[in-house]
Amino acid sequence: MKILLYGGTFDPPHKGHLHLLESAMEYLQPDKVVIMPAGVPPHKKASATPSSIRLAMCRCFETLGKQVQLSDWEISRKGKNYTVDTIGHLRQCYPHGKIYLCIGGDMLTSFTAWKDWQRLLRWCTLVALCRDSGQMKSFEQAAEALRCKGAKIVVLPVSVVKQSSTDLRRQLIAGNSAKKLLPKQVAEVVEKYGLYQQKEGKV
């Protein structure tokens, strides 16, 4: 059984996120996809948008197939959460499953700085989504260096969708319409709760 983990802050999730996940699903053909909105990540500030609302926005991913399910495991935990904790949780939930972890291609170069990275390499297969063709050589070199340490890695080139949640928030806060860049379900939640109408960090 293939379990694909797709995590992120998702504040908000946008069409670029959908595109990346769809590309990974087409390649891997997973039996189950777990969408895991981040709680308190160790490397940056927690999202200012309430976790329950970010979880609601993530329902946009369910349009990609019946195998997609949402999980509030990270956002329901207290304190900082590390990827190794999440993978450990999934190993308990699916003891006979093969776990795949989606990461950005740029994360390959800093992966050895992650907490318990050696354990992560034993516990899952990395799916590196590489959006910058100009950096493919460096991504492949980083992947090969990790393979020499025992990593199982799929380097998956994907077409570029130039969007980021940070830029979308800035556009919305500035009063610009970004609905065309958001899945319908996300745009509806943004409108319902009046999100991203104040200065960032005070939403």
Please report, for the chain, the start and end positions of each structural domain, with discontinuous segments joined by +.
2-161
How far apart are the C-alpha atoms of 55 and 36, rounded to whole Å? 8
Q: What is the pTM of this model?
A: 0.90
Q: Do 46 and 203 form a contact (C-beta atoms < 8 A)?
A: no
With a cut of 80, say whether residue 30 has pLDDT above it.
Answer: yes
Output the furthest CA–CA distance in the chain (Å, rounded). Answer: 50
Q: Which residue has the higher pLDDT, 42 or 64?
A: 64
Cα 77 to Cα 71: distance, rounded to the nearest angstrom: 12
* Average pLDDT, integer, range 124-151: 91
Q: What is the pLDDT of residues 142-186, one digit of tens each?
A: 999 999 999 999 999 987 666 778 888 888 877 776 677 899 999
Q: How confident is the model over 132-141, as a mean pLDDT?
A: 84
Task: Average the pLDDT over 26-44 and give the result.
Answer: 89
For residue 203, is pLDDT > 60?
Answer: no
Q: Give, in degrees to the nearest 5, the angle at Cα 23 between 127 and 62.
A: 105
Ranges assigned E (strand) in the chain: 2-8, 32-37, 68-70, 98-104, 125-130, 153-157
Task: Please state which of the ranges 79-83, 84-88, 97-101, 143-147 shows the lowest mean pLDDT.
Answer: 79-83
Structure tokens at 23: 């590309």
Q: What mean pLDDT value characterizes the chain?
A: 90
Candidate from 105-119, 169-183, 185-199 with smallest mean pLDDT: 169-183
The rounded distance, in Å, linking the Cα atoms of 181 and 171 is: 11
End-to-end, the C-alpha distance of the chain in Å comes to 40
Residue 199 · residue 193 · CB < 8 Å: no
Q: Which CATH number fits domain 2-161: 3.40.980.10, 3.40.50.620, 1.10.10.10, 3.50.50.60?
A: 3.40.50.620
Confidence of residue 43 (pLDDT cuts 50, 70, 90): low
Neighbours of 5 (CB within 10 A): 23
**Residue 114 neighbours by CB distance under 10 Å:** 18
Task: Report the pLDDT averaged over residues 80-93.
Answer: 96
Do the Cβ atoms of 70 and 61 come closer than 8 Å?
yes
Which pLDDT score is estimated for 200? 43
Spatial distance between the Cα atoms of 56 and 54, rounded to a whole number of angstroms: 5
Mean pLDDT of the 119-131 span: 95
